[in-house]
A and B are shown apart, each in its own frame.
Chain A
Amino acid sequence: MIFHPLFVPSGPRNLFLVQHIACDPAVVERRVLIVPPLFEELNKSRRLFALIAEKLAALGMECVIADISGTGDSDGELSELVWQDWLDDLDSIHDWINEQTPKVPLSILSCRASALLVNDWLARRMPDIHSMTLVQPCTSGKTYCNQFLRLRVLANRFAGVDESLADIRFMLDEGKHVEVAGYSLTNQLFTGLESIDLKDYCQNTVGGLDIIQVSSGSHQNLSPSLKKLLDTWSGQNRVGSHHVDAESFWLTQEISAPKKVIDLVTKTLSINQKYNG
């Protein structure tokens, strides 16, 4: 097993990637790019995606986990970035992967808000992607951004400071830096994320799309937002939906890497690699 941390240039910044590969690169038949969740959810889910990458590599796939600018160990300050920078980052990562193993089908695994970024990138830049798997995707950028800003609202409220969501939005609209849960943001990045609604995107991929819902309980029902997404996308592509009974690893206070999630994600990607439309 090769575990290869490296930096890849993206414009003026260097991006941190980790490549997992278990065999001679020349015989890799499938590749997976993992774009982890954003902000604090990235930290909560790092271990999970490292374990997924290891398992995929053991199955013969090459797996790359990427930190986009301003996140993880990559260069850049969030407050200085614009949405275009993140799209350019995915271009740079995609180009690097293609230089390593050209013409090998590439699948993308996204999670939570990174699903918004990945789908916008796919729509705008139209890279050649074999399949896409989305783990507990945020379907609405607007909803996700409101929920993120709420972290500051409630932290202030518990500290006795009265500040509303509207107050924070006003500061962002005035071009100010706003700190939320330790992350300094501006509207330049935020409006890009907020503008995306997954229902407006449906990617045509040979290997299809898979949506994985992670929630506690034995019920198999998709949440209303994921069901709406599935209904919208099903008309235009092969879309699979799956539910795994596991805790919300991106939120739990203790770092969690549910085995059931690892097993389902790797199984889904393994099945996708065999599907050629």
Chain B
Amino acid sequence: MSTYTHVVEVLRGVLSLEGDNDKYTRQTGLLGSLPQFDSMAVVSIITRLEEEFDFFVDDDEIDAEVFENIGSLVDFIDHKLD
């Protein structure tokens, strides 16, 4: 499974997003775009991603740019996995 698909499924699972994966793209906005995407959502998503991908996210890696859209989040994870 690609990182992109995996991330979309995590987002759908945590945020209870409607529709199937095809509804979302790399350009789909997250922080500031989805009303349910608050600080608690950020923590929840990071937690799930850590468990799914088996890495740890340091404090200083978490900034608003990472959560701008699905593409920026996918790129962040791919960078962590490299």
Contacts and interface: CB of A to CB of B under 8 A. Distances in A.
A154 B66 CA distance: 14
Contacts of A246: 13
A153 B59 contact: yes
A219 B1 contact: yes
Contacts of A215: 9-10, 13, 48, 52
Interface residues of A, number: 28
Interface string A3-26: 000000000000000000000000
B14 A143 contact: no
Interface in B24-39: 36, 38-39
Interface string A139-171: 000010011001101110110000011000000
B12 A216 contact: yes
Contacts of A216: 9-10, 12-13
B9 A251 contact: no
Interface string B7-21: 001101111100000
B33 to A, nearest CB: 16
A224 interface: yes
A43 to B, nearest CB: 13
A254 interface: yes
Size bracket, chain B contacts: 20 to 34
A225 B43 contact: no
A217 B44 contact: no
A155 B13 contact: no
Given A154-B39, A219-B1, A248 B9 contact: no
B36 to A, nearest CB: 6
A203 interface: no
Contacts, number: 75
A154 B59 CA distance: 9
A150 B13 CA distance: 20
B3 interface: no
| A153, A225, A251, A253 interface centre (most CB from chain B within 10 Å) | A251
A253 B13 contact: no
A76 to B, nearest CB: 25
Given A164-B59, A215-B13, A216-B13, A253 B52 contact: no
B82 interface: no
A266 interface: no
Contacts of A223: 51-54
A154 B41 CA distance: 10
Given A216-B9, A247-B16, A254-B16, A150 B46 contact: yes
A92 interface: no
Interface string A242-259: 000011100111101000
Contacts of B9: 215-217, 219
Interface string B49-76: 0111110100110100000000000000
9 contacts: A147-B50, A150-B43, A164-B60, A215-B52, A217-B1, A224-B52, A251-B48, A253-B36, A254-B16
Given A215-B9, A216-B10, 16 more contacts: A143-B50, A146-B56, A147-B50, A154-B39, A154-B42, A157-B39, A215-B13, A216-B12, A216-B13, A217-B1, A217-B13, A223-B52, A224-B52, A248-B48, A252-B16, A253-B41
- State the 5 A-B residue pairs at the shortest beta-carbon distance, nearest first: A216-B13, A224-B54, A217-B9, A251-B44, A216-B9
